[in-house]
């Protein structure tokens, strides 16, 4: 083939490439402009499985999981002014003030990665937070579209919380018995050897949260029952709550989550 013909075919290929890119951009702009964001919420007691199931939703729908607990822990570990304010309440298992978390979330949901939607995890936790969220979303004509409420018997939660190990960078959680990291080795007393508790994906060391103790759990559960569960009544009125049996093994919970998110299942 002559050089000129080759150059022509190359040019044509390039044009097609740019046409596809332009078409993709047009589609993206269309969704950004006209479609409401998918705003989901994971609801459940400490240890109910929110942090375990969230990443599956992120992988499937590409929405970021916004965990106020992870954001606050990050602030505490960096000693930021926010972290200093939150530290004491968090260590004892108490809630931090509503203003603090409302401020964090209102900033975070304006970030570009929330453009198609987001998954709230651990927020709202009080009626005041739920009302502030509703008001915030109304300003842009939006509202929470789907709540996955994980129901787990209380007597299961202590074993889950006390056996939990976390990866700091990603918020991924593991469990010595129910979801051990691949590298885990046990000593003669069947206790995990700390040096072997590493993240499956990065190989980095895992850690145990300072508030994942039996005593802090008592306070966290009483706050959950008194202050947070009333939110379900608030959202039930909008028919957006899907209940999930979170007491089943992890994979079975994942199947329920995927089903609850399907369009077919959205009908009331």
* Residue positions annotated with a catalytic role: 50, 125, 164, 209, 220
Cα–Cα dist 128/199, whole Å: 37
Give whichever of 26 and 59 is closer to ligand ADP, judged by the CB atom: 59
Q: x/- binding map, residues 79-118, to ligand ADP, per CB under 6 A?
A: ----------xx--xxxx----x-----------------
Cα–Cα dist 211/253, whole Å: 25
Let me know if 49 is exposed, middle or buried by CB neighbors in 10 A (0-12, 13-18, 19+): buried
Q: x/- binding map, residues 129-158, to ligand ADP, per CB under 6 A?
A: x-----------------------------
Cα–Cα dist 24/81, whole Å: 42
Single residue of 47, 117, 181, 192 touching ligand ADP by CB under 6 A: 47
Single residue of 52, 65, 198, 256 touching ligand ADP by CB under 6 A: 52
Least distance CB 136 / ligand ADP (angstroms): 14
Single residue of 39, 57, 65, 68 touching ligand ADP by CB under 6 A: 68
Compute the Cα dihedral for 26, 32, 34, 35 and give only its sign.
Answer: positive
CA angle 17, 63, 174 (to 5 degrees): 125
Give whichever of 26 and 78 is closer to ligand ADP, judged by the CB atom: 78
Count of residues in contact with ligand ADP, rule CB under 6 A? 38
Q: Which segments within the chain are labelled E, that is strand?
A: 38-43, 65-67, 117-121, 146-151, 164-166, 173-175, 241-245
The answer to whether 144 and 240 are in contact (CB under 8 A) is yes
* Site residues (vs ligand ADP, CB under 6 A): 44, 46-52, 68-69, 72, 89-90, 93-96, 101, 122-125, 129, 160, 163-164, 173-175, 178-179, 211, 220, 246, 248-250, 253
């Amino acid at each position: 083939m002559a050089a000129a013909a080759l150059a022509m075919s190359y040019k044509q290929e390039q044009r097609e490439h740019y046409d596809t890119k332009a078409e993709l951009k047009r589609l993206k702009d269309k969704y950004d402009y006209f479609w409401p964001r998918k705003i989901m919420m994971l609801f459940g007691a400490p240890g109910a499985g929110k942090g375990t199931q969230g990443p599956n939703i992120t992988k499937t729908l590409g929405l970021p999981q916004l965990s106020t607990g992870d954001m606050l822990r990050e602030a505490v570990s960096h000693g930021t002014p926010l972290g200093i304010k939150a530290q004491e309440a968090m260590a004892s298992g108490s809630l931090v003030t509503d203003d603090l978390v409302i401020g964090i979330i209102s900033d975070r949901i304006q970030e570009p990665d929330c453009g198609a939607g987001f998954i709230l995890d651990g927020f709202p936790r009080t009626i005041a937070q739920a009302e502030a969220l509703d008001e915030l979303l109304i300003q842009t004509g939006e509202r929470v579209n789907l709540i996955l409420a994980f129901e787990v018997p209380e007597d299961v939660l202590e074993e889950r919380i006390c056996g939990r190990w976390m990866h700091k960078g990603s918020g991924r959680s593991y469990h010595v018995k129910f979801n051990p990291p691949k590298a885990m080795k046990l000593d003669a007393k069947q206790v995990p050897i700390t040096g072997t508790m590493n993240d499956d994906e990065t190989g980095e060391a895992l850690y145990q949260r300072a508030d994942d103790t039996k005593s802090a759990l008592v306070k966290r559960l009483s706050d959950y029952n008194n202050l947070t569960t009333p939110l379900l009544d608030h959202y039930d009125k909008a028919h957006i709550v899907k209940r999930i049996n979170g007491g089943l093994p992890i994979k079975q919970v994942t199947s329920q989550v995927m089903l609850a998110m399907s369009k077919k299942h959205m009908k009331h």
